[in-house]
Amino acid sequence: MDIMKSFSLEGKVALVTGGAYGIGFAIAEALAGAGAKIVFNCRSQSNLDKALADYEAKGIKACGYICDVTKEEEVTALVARIKEELGGVDILVNNAGIIKRIPMTEMSSEDFRQVVDIDLVGPFICAKAVIPGMLEKGHGKIINICSMMSELGRETVSAYAAAKGGLKMLTRNICSEYGGANIQCNGIGPGYIATPQTAPLRERQADGSRHPFDQFIIAKTPAARWGTPEDLMGPAVFLASDASNFVNGHILYVDGGILAYIGKQP
């Protein structure tokens, strides 16, 4: 067996949802570096234009489209277009997601539903759209971007935790239903990663000191730092490649050790 070749994604087409910036962009860059053709989506023309320029600056020929993962007709049309133009999706990364930090008793059911719609129903819609093509091809990789909140709770993130806990179970269910058809569905559970989504938790205080949550996370992480989107690149290539063909229904936590650690005595 050529072990290095088993990590290659040459000839594969990867759809990375929400791949315009943040974690999705880094994962797409990694998959492209391993040889995959990249397709990504986002929701606005301005984000799309900026992302296309960012991919080009990295020397990556990515195809980008405006498509909302909660709109089934848009997702189905995008997947059909990828089939026509590139031969279909081999790798789906369900990365698009949002968070709303609101105490539960103050949160409207509308806000709760919107988070679940994007973070859980979106991955269902995207997986449902690509699985028939994967069945035709006889192979497929689905990577769901989960969270620490697939395992843990904390104040203000009830909807997000419910959605990401659900996404962990959707991952296991896709594995259960389609593992026999050579489709591997796994999750990546990033720890606390420095991206626009977590920027409010790292804002400097008026006196120039670190945000209390920033200090808390560094103390709670054995690696003693925030993660970067680049920390997710190797794990994503592994789960997208033949090197992980017998890994299925697994959530790979990439968290600097947070889930292993009880935390410092105050």
Residue positions annotated with a catalytic role? 160
Minimal distance in Å, beta carbon 148 to ligand GCO?
3
DSSP string of the chain?
A: --TTGGG--TT-EEEEETTTSHHHHHHHHHHHHTT-EEEEEES-HHHHHHHHHHHHHTT---EEEE--TT-HHHHHHHHHHHHHHHS--SEEEE---------GGG--HHHHHHHHIIIIIHHHHHHHHHHHHHHHHT-EEEEEE--GGGT---TT-HHHHHHHHHHHHHHHHHHHHHGGGTEEEEEEEE-SB-SGGGGGGTPPPTTSPPPHHHHHHHHH-TT-S-B-GGGGHHHHHHHHSGGGTT--S-EEEESTTGGG------
64 is a site residue for ligand NAP (CB under 6 A): no
138 is a site residue for ligand NAP (CB under 6 A): no
> Which option in ligand NAP, ligand GCO, none does residue 101 bind, with CB closer than 5 to 8 A by kind?
ligand GCO
Minimal distance in Å, beta carbon 71 to ligand GCO?
24
Between 17 and 158, CB nearer to ligand NAP: 17
Taking CB under 6 A as the criterion, the residue among 29, 68, 90, 214 binding ligand NAP is: 68
- Please identify, among the stretches 55-63, 80-88, 94-102, 174-182, the one whose residues bind ligand NAP according to the rule CB under 6 A: 94-102
> Which option in ligand NAP, ligand GCO, none does residue 241 bind, with CB closer than 5 to 8 A by kind?
none
Q: How far apart are CA 253 and CA 149, in angstroms?
A: 11
Single-letter amino acid, residue 178 = Y
Taking CB under 6 A as the criterion, the residue among 12, 18, 89, 235 binding ligand NAP is: 18
How many chain residues bind ligand NAP (CB under 6 A)?
A: 30
- Please identify, among the stretches 7-15, 106-114, 180-188, 194-202, the one whose residues bind ligand GCO according to the rule CB under 6 A: 194-202
140 is a site residue for ligand NAP (CB under 6 A): no
Q: Which residues pair with 186 in a beta bridge?
A: 143
150 is a site residue for ligand NAP (CB under 6 A): no
Residues that bind ligand GCO in the complex, under the rule CB under 6 A: 99, 101, 147-149, 154, 157, 160, 190-192, 197-198, 201
Residues that bind ligand NAP in the complex, under the rule CB under 6 A: 17-18, 20-24, 41-44, 47, 68-70, 95-98, 118, 122, 145, 147, 190, 192-193, 195-198
